[in-house]
Amino acid sequence: MIHVERTQKAQIAVYYQNYINQKEYFENCLGILSEDNEFCKQLLQAGTYNTFLQKLSARLESKQKKFQPEYIDSCLELALYFDKPLSAYKPKINLELEKIEGIVKPAVVVLWFSEKTISMITQKPFGGRWHWFKHKFTKGHHSSSHKPQAINLNNLASPEVMVMKEKFNRLGDQLWRQHIDWEDQEFGQNVYDEGLHGGYVELGYIESALQAHEFAGRMLGMPLGIEEYEQLFFSGRRHVQKSIRYDTTPRNLWRLKALLEPDVHADMDPEHIRYIPHYHWEVMAFNYLREKYSDIFMKDNLLIANYLYAKYGENIKITKKLLDKEFMRCQINFFNEYHTDVEIRHAINKKLAEFYKNMGALGFDMQMGQVATGNEEAGLLEIAKLTRWLEILHPFTGGNTRHNIILLNKLLIEAGFCPIILSNRNDAPYRSARGWMEQILTGMLRWSVVCGLINIDLFVHLLQIKPGHCHVGR
């Protein structure tokens, strides 16, 4: 564990240094461009990305003694591409009974019912049979709803808080980009309101997200306890939720082992993790849907199918043994048994208090927005650990990720860093603390690039001449 922690810190230091090098260099380039309006107009005439890049490189090479085109390339790519999230490598076995015919249908139903029941009662879901029955049939263990306590935000903002707020809102009318996955932003700010990304339709999503952002801005410099945490969550869900409701079930995660980071569970207590074998009904449904509806199956599981076909051939026979070998499937619960709302609230409150204590020990003044020079990587790691823990906990019945990203942006600003624009905001549970830290650094750099390009009016044009839709990678 100690060796893993040392290796993790060394890798994070490298990631942070790469971020600093690229960020400072690109900001310098943007500074040069901001003083040359005529050249910016020439860039706006570029009809292709290659032309844009050639003109930009030629001008910067003539203006800078140390021209580093590799930094230009990597920064601009952040404004053009996105990486495929690890959460996409989860099998989609959409069990639609109406599609299953013959004897397979009752067989799947019987296997599903029997294996589900046995798993819930006999397996130890962090407490075993007695705690499962107690959770199901005792009123004290049922999730209840309540309205969050009102927070007093009438304090006059200090000059330091005003500086933080200016950076927090620097994207202006493009602020919505901090609250929508980068991969979905080509559809516009109403992508989730209208379901343009092919997912669920949630009318009022972006309006509530921006309201929550404004509320978080009013809380800059204010340490969070459970009441503030709940109020921040509630402000982003008012369009669909009239009160707070906790989710008291453990979190299930499922993904390809080939993409596991070696320290993915290094910062977790082994007692909180239960590895789950795959079920026979899933194997039967998986094979049936793959053979009967191959086109739909390939569309829903393209990345996984390509991986399995490349390794085993297209005539592969899916078995329970194969799924257990290729996929990590686990249940994560930070409690010893099925838990109550009170226990969740207490755990979050304790985690927040530990976070502020650790940041103070590192020298961060979260009320002033001052970074602790020399401890930047350690501070970012603390922020990554907290937000990843909260995302894995998934304490509420909905809206957890948008809430945690707003919280993440608030903490970054208070620690003296910049906000983020993430490629995919749901990826935290599928990465190690180190991996999530890397995503945060990438998101910070992307925000800096987008913000700088917006300031010199080149952002929209760059998107219009981008060479491709996306880059699929790890």
pLDDT at 217: 94
pLDDT at 168: 97
Question: Model confidence over 115-173: pLDDT tens digits?
Answer: 877 776 666 544 455 555 666 666 555 556 788 877 777 666 789 999 999 999 999 99
pLDDT at 161: 92
The one-character DSSP state at 226 is H
- β-bridge mates for residue 253, sequence order: 330
Question: Model confidence over 161-189: pLDDT tens digits?
Answer: 999 999 999 999 999 999 999 989 989 99
- Helix H segments across 293-366? 294-300, 302-312, 320-326, 341-361
Label residues 397-431 b or e (16+ Cβ within 10 Å = b): bebbbbbbbbbbbbbbbbbbbbbbbbbbbbbbbbb
Give, in degrees to the nearest 5, the angle at Cα 305 between 391 and 474: 45
In this structure, the number of other CB atoms found within 10 A of the CB of residue 201 comes to 10
Is residue 331 within a helix (H) or strand (E), and if so which, with residue range?
strand 327-332
Record the pTM.
Answer: 0.90
Check if the beta carbon of residue 75 is closer than 8 Å to that of residue 462: no
The dihedral of CA 324, 283, 251, 437: what is its sign? positive
- β-bridge mates for residue 246, sequence order: 396
Instruction: Let me know if 390 is exposed, middle or buried by CB neighbors in 10 A (0-12, 13-18, 19+).
Output: buried
147-248+337-430: which CATH architecture?
Orthogonal Bundle (1.10)
pLDDT at 316: 83
pLDDT at 164: 95
CA-to-CA distance for 303 and 326, rounded, in angstroms? 13
Spatial neighbors of 433 by CB under 8 A, at least 6 apart, are: 8, 263, 266, 267, 381, 384, 385, 388
Which residues does the chain have with pLDDT short of 50?
1-4, 125-127, 469-474
Spatial neighbors of 6 by CB under 8 A, at least 6 apart, are: none
Q: Where are the domains of the chain?
A: 1-78+442-474, 87-123+251-332, 147-248+337-430
pLDDT at 354: 98
CA-to-CA distance for 446 and 423, rounded, in angstroms? 9
Radius of gyration in angstroms for the set of CA atoms belonging to the chain, rounded to a whole number: 24
